[in-house]
């Protein structure tokens, strides 16, 4: 493979930088059970996150749920989540070190692009002391769209002033791979709680890692030209 050094790194949030699943499950189940609906287990939530809170609530209630019910469950879920998610959502192992590494190697061209609202992503990054290693944060509230729409990642690319082929997107779900394909950005899949390596390969990820801490090694060793001697 031709050596390539990405000029920018873009990261998904939930399941990639943030270990979000327990907090999302707790808030979703608070909303569901308080309004008389059955709870969902952690495995179900891990599989259904990724498309935003509205779609998660819709999946939990089923396709025939009235709009007013969707709205009320979504409201209670959102209120509970905003009040509790910061302390209940630790960084994924290695997130701090990986962000610091890619910040140095790219000269600060690092972004977060998540279907979580950018305001929440920014709060989380600040709470855990990671904001200084992320230049750009985009979400549906800043772009007016969501993954897998290619315009979503294009907003991050424009803010970082890089071309799609000069960036790399890291995410843990098929929707991340689909978003990368739509924006013509290569994707590294992060296998783990939400998706297996085989699922990410099948979706079209360029590479798949099973621990975020493997990303620096991939960038150094798998033809990307980021060896130890390059600043």
pLDDT digits (tens, 9 = 90+) for 63-84: 899 999 999 999 999 999 999 9
Please, what are the domains in the chain? 8-19+90-221 (3.40.50.1000), 21-88 (1.10.150.240)
Instruction: List, in sequence order, every beta strand (DSSP E) within the chain.
Output: 8-11, 110-113, 136-138, 167-171, 187-190, 207-209
CB distance 46 to 21 below 8 Å: yes
Residue 114 has pLDDT above 60, yes or no: yes
pLDDT score at 197: 95
Q: Return the CA Rg of the chain.
A: 17
Residue 129: count other Cβ atoms within 10 Å of its Cβ: 10
Question: How much is the average pLDDT of 26-49?
Answer: 94
pLDDT score at 231: 43
Report the alpha-carbon angle 226-228-231, nearest 5: 70
The long-range contacts involving 120-125, CB below 8 angstroms and separated by at least 24 positions, are 120/82, 120/85, 121/13, 123/86, 124/13, 124/18, 124/85, 124/86, 124/89
Question: How much is the average pLDDT of 189-217?
Answer: 94
Compute CA distances 141 → 54, 116, 145, whole Å: 13, 9, 8
pLDDT score at 227: 56
pLDDT score at 230: 47
To which residue do tokens 């599989």 refer? Answer: 47
CB distance 52 to 60 below 8 Å: no
- Active centre residues (catalytic): 12
Question: How much is the average pLDDT of 160-181?
Answer: 95
Mean pLDDT of the chain: 92
């Amino acid at each position: 493979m031709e050596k390539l050094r990405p000029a920018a790194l873009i990261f998904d949030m939930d399941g990639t930088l943030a270990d979000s699943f327990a907090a999302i499950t707790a808030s979703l189940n608070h909303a569901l059970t308080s309004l008389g609906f059955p709870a969902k287990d952690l495995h179900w939530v891990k599989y259904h996150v990724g498309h935003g809170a509205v779609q998660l609530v819709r999946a939990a209630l089923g396709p025939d749920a009235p709009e007013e019910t969707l709205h009320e469950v979504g409201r209670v879920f959102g209120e509970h989540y905003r009040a509790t998610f910061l302390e209940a959502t630790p960084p994924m192992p290695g997130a701090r070190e990986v962000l610091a590494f890619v910040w140095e190697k790219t000269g600060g061209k690092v972004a977060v692009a998540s279907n979580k609202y950018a305001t929440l992503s920014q709060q989380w990054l600040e709470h855990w002391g990671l904001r200084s290693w992320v230049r750009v944060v985009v979400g549906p509230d800043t772009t007016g769209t969501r993954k897998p729409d290619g315009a979503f990642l294009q907003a991050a690319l424009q803010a970082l002033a890089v071309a799609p082929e000069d960036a790399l997107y890291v995410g843990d779900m098929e929707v991340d791979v689909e978003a990368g394909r739509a924006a013509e950005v290569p994707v590294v899949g992060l296998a783990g709680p939400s998706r297996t390596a085989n699922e990410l390969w099948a979706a079209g990820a360029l590479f798949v890692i099973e621990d975020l801490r493997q990303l620096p090694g991939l960038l150094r060793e798998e033809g990307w030209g980021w060896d130890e001697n390059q600043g």
